[in-house]
Amino acid sequence: MERNSLESFAQEELNVRIEPNVFIEQFAVEFVSKFRDLGQGKDMTIPSTRQSIAIAKLLSARYMKHGKLSGEDFVNTAVVTSFPKVQKTAEGVAKDTFSRLFSKMKANLRAGIIE
């Protein structure tokens, strides 16, 4: 995976004022669900629910070790847990999933729904 293509994407780090595990679990489940929908009816290896568990565990461990997570961490974890032949597709789905969830979370923070 190209480092330069993710640098601009990962400029903004996850704001950990909220419980990070909630966001991690949302990302993992939504990524696998969206990826499965994309792979239906195609000659593509679709992810199992075990992949969402692996994503959540890896991201939680990284958060515990470093105290923060970036967009790049989410995308890289989703890609590394995917089968090699579908990693390019996984990268696109992961970026889309992360940016949508992150935008939603930021909007909720601004609106005062989450503190």
pLDDT at residue 47, as a whole number: 84
> How far does the chain reach from its first CA to its final CA, in angstroms?
35
In a domain, 10, yes or no: no
Domain enclosing residue 51, as ranges: 18-110
Under DSSP, the state recorded for 11 is S
pLDDT at residue 19, as a whole number: 62
Q: Would you say 24 and 63 are in contact if contact means Cβ atoms under 8 Å apart?
A: yes
In a domain, 82, yes or no: yes
> What parts of the chain have a pLDDT lower than 70?
1-19, 40-41, 43, 112-115
Domain tally, the chain: 1
In a domain, 70, yes or no: yes
Q: How far is CA 80 from CA 73, 85, 101, 106, 110, in A?
A: 10, 11, 20, 26, 33
